A and B are shown apart, each in its own frame.
Chain A
Amino acid sequence: MPTMNMLQAINNALDIAMAEDDKVLCFGEDVGIFGGVFRATSHLQEKYGRTRCFNTPLVEQGILGFANGLAAQGSVPVAEIQFADYIFPAFDQIVNETAKFRYRSGDLFNVGGLTIRAPYGGGISGGLYHSQSPEAYFAHTPGLKIAVPRNPYQAKGLLLAAIRDPDPVLFFEPKRLYRASTGEVPEEDYQLPIGEAEVTREGTDVTVLGWGAQMEVIDRAVELAEKEGISCEVIDLRSILPWDEESVVESVLKTGRLVITHEAPLTGGFAGEIAATVQERCFLYLESPIARVTGLDTPFPLTLEKEYLPDHLKVFEAIRASVAF
């Protein structure tokens, strides 16, 4: 099995999807001959031509408007927003159009073919505008699906599933993993389920939950905790919307403790939604308050990025506090 980094896995998924179906189109700013600023679309234009892989003008609302129209027509657009921080000019097209297309037409029309890819998250000294994790804004919008992969294997399987999913999917790619995360990735076509979490480590004392690049952070924290004799169950949520309540609840019923971590700010972050649901369904089983380890309620900083980020030490401390409560 070949070893790939996350970019290669994403590129490979796009290649498979485009080879399989002529209706699959990849476009966005600089995604043409240049292959995207991170090279996720490398060689796709050479292989599939300028009509199927192309640059767009620099206008996010236009990219998503165009993509919505293509998807409604029956094409399978994979639109790239160069950084998740720049998705907001397209917010109206995504929230009022993409998400509501099927519902408002009574299923006469839908944009289920649409996948929106966006590099996301911090840890690359990107400051305010190359670091944000905006999943919570979109999680508040019924009609969208949201997936975040934690490694190259997951990225390929989830992206192929997103492209073929009957509903529009926002696919957030943790960009600090693009080249840093490598692993074995099958060359053949495979899909991983949207909407299903994965228990990546079984344990009995505390459930530690995250997604995307936080999964590496969690693994390091858990290593420290296990040394202290704390048995951790680790869950990668993988999909923010719809999210896998059952897997999380089942785990917390067993461990009685939950630590949730994400890079985005605390207030209104998706951890709050998970915590509310878990306390509702696991109230009498909880041994300690549900802990949230997140970014601060500030814009994303630059020089003090390390201080801001919910790193393994902060997660480790939250695990200890939860168990010692």
Chain B
Amino acid sequence: MTTTQDIHSPQFLSGDEFSIPTFRLLKQDGSLYDGAEAPELSREQALKIYHTMVATRVLDERMMAAQRQGRLSFYMQCTGEEAAVIGATAALDDADMIMAQYREQGALVYRGFSYDEFMNQLFGNELDYGKGRQMPIHYGSRKLHYMTISSPLATQIPQAAGYAYGQKLAGEGHCTLCFFGEGAASEGDFHAALNMAAVHEVPVIFFCRNNGYAISTPSIEQFAADGVAPRAFGYRMHVIRVDGNDILAVLSATREARRIAVEHNKPVLIEAMSYRLAAHSSSDDPSGYRSKKEEEAWREKDPILRMQHWLTEQGWWNDDEEKALQESLRREVLETMKRAEKRPPPPLDSLVSDVYADVTPALQRQLDRLKTHIRQYPESYPKGARSLDPDVKVREDASQGGE
């Protein structure tokens, strides 16, 4: 519906009439801004959030190093955006659905996804829930209400609107939180999703991680407007911009967003301003498109250090505990990685399962033909051959050919 008043000369609006403030509570030194009030947060939950942030950072550092050593084909880091991702997750009910883009592993860590579970996916072994079908970092967990990641950008945004509509009808008081980047917000699916969510009044939180870059493209070349937040006006949706490196502000904003979503069945857009401190992925080199100086400036706003300072001020954390935590996490990453690397790949039959609920006769015939062929050339297909006939001896040096 349009409500408007008449004018009688052509006066245009440019959008500059709206100025969107940034919600901040915590300064980098761990103190609060004047007039700011920390959200209610128990020592226990604060430490859980902090542990999650550190565990995510350690996982990312070690796995990127493993990728550089050639142990892993691909990796993506959450580095720099831990407060945005984990703060948002901590504001939810654990049974709320999370539909993420690909850089939000911190949400899974918070909900209890173990390093073993991460590693099984990263190495695509027989214990990977995704059965070795997707590239590393495409995690999913039904028990943790975390939708399996899909590479195409923004497709999860209208799906989140639909999922949340189903939650509304189910009437159990749950919502969906959907993560995406400021680059993905240029996709048509973003606009479709926000409009449908507003029209159909669904309990969904659209959480935009504005980290400044879509691979190499800076946000200034992504949109002419003041970020992503102003788009909410066009859909008549609640919106807030928050300092994405401020764990308390993210937590507080997302809690309030959840209240609006669940109590009033209204979608909310959150734009978290942050910075992707690492490369886009293991295949990217940011030195080609941004300066060290710019990166350093953001390193000084590190969200983990900011929270650590706050915890220290509360008397909830000290250097010894920090050291012990870092060491134990590093050890755990290395141990779990070694375990996962050694596990065999998923069996050959998993090539054709789950295309449909049941394997079709035509697909079964294709698999049978493939098995005959693999038995003819087992050394060229070591993974498949081992799974077909565990006793078959395949030379180790043959394994490269089948990668």
Residues of chain A in range 204-244 having any CB-CB distance to chain B below 8 Å: 242-243
Residues of chain B in range 120-178 having any CB-CB distance to chain A below 8 Å: 128-131, 133-134, 138, 140-142, 147-148, 150, 152, 155, 157-167, 169-170, 176
Stretch at the interface among B80-88, B194-202, B299-307, B312-320: B194-202
A105 within 8 A of B: yes
Bound-state CA distance A39–B156 (Å) is 31
Residues of chain A in range 47-77 having any CB-CB distance to chain B below 8 Å: 51, 54, 56-57, 59, 61-62, 64-75, 77
Q: Is A69 in contact with B357, judged by CB distance below 8 angstroms?
A: no
A92 within 8 A of B: yes
Q: Is A65 in contact with B138, judged by CB distance below 8 angstroms?
A: no
Residues of chain A in range 65-119 having any CB-CB distance to chain B below 8 Å: 65-75, 77, 89, 92-93, 96-97, 100, 102-110, 112
Q: Is B167 in contact with A108, judged by CB distance below 8 angstroms?
A: no
B354 within 8 A of A: yes
Q: Is A97 in contact with B166, judged by CB distance below 8 angstroms?
A: no
Q: Is B189 in contact with A66, judged by CB distance below 8 angstroms?
A: no
Q: How far is the CB of B126 from chain A (nearest CB, A)?
A: 11
Q: Is B360 in contact with A195, judged by CB distance below 8 angstroms?
A: yes
Bound-state CA distance A246–B199 (Å) is 48
Q: How far is the CB of A18 from chain B (nearest CB, A)?
A: 13
Residues of chain B in range 354-391 having any CB-CB distance to chain A below 8 Å: 354-358, 360-363
B55 within 8 A of A: no
Bound-state CA distance A96–B193 (Å) is 17
Across the interface, which residues of B come within 8 angstroms of A61, CB to CB?
158, 188-189, 192
A245 within 8 A of B: yes
Q: How far is the CB of A301 from chain B (nearest CB, A)?
A: 30
Q: Is B166 in contact with A62, judged by CB distance below 8 angstroms?
A: no
Bound-state CA distance A66–B168 (Å) is 13
A166, closest chain B residue (CB) = B357
Number of interface residues of A (CB under 8 A): 47
Q: Is B195 in contact with A62, judged by CB distance below 8 angstroms?
A: yes
Q: Is A73 in contact with B167, judged by CB distance below 8 angstroms?
A: yes
A74, closest chain B residue (CB) = B166
Q: Is B196 in contact with A245, judged by CB distance below 8 angstroms?
A: no
Bound-state CA distance A56–B200 (Å) is 8
Given A57-B199, A72-B163, A92-B152, A106 and B192 contact (CB-CB distance below 8 Å): no
A241, closest chain B residue (CB) = B360
Bound-state CA distance A246–B365 (Å) is 12
Q: How far is the CB of B164 from chain A (nearest CB, A)?
A: 7
A67, closest chain B residue (CB) = B162
Across the interface, which residues of A come within 8 angstroms of B160, CB to CB?
69
Bound-state CA distance A94–B333 (Å) is 38
Across the interface, which residues of A come within 8 angstroms of B148, CB to CB?
104-106, 108-109
Bound-state CA distance A68–B99 (Å) is 12
Interface centre among B128, B133, B140, B165 (most CB of A within 10 A): B165
Chosen A-B contacts, 19 in total, with CB atoms closer than 8 Å, are: A56-B199, A59-B191, A65-B159, A67-B162, A69-B159, A74-B170, A89-B188, A92-B189, A96-B150, A102-B354, A102-B355, A105-B129, A105-B140, A106-B130, A107-B354, A108-B140, A143-B355, A143-B356, A242-B362
Chain A interfacial positions (CB closer than 8 Å to B) = 25, 51, 54, 56-57, 59, 61-62, 64-75, 77, 89, 92-93, 96-97, 100, 102-110, 112, 142-143, 145, 166-167, 195, 242-243, 245-246
Give 18 new A-B contacts, CB below 8 A, not counting A68-B162, A103-B355, A107-B353: A56-B196, A61-B158, A61-B188, A62-B161, A62-B196, A65-B161, A65-B193, A66-B158, A69-B159, A70-B163, A72-B162, A92-B155, A93-B158, A108-B129, A108-B141, A109-B140, A167-B357, A242-B361
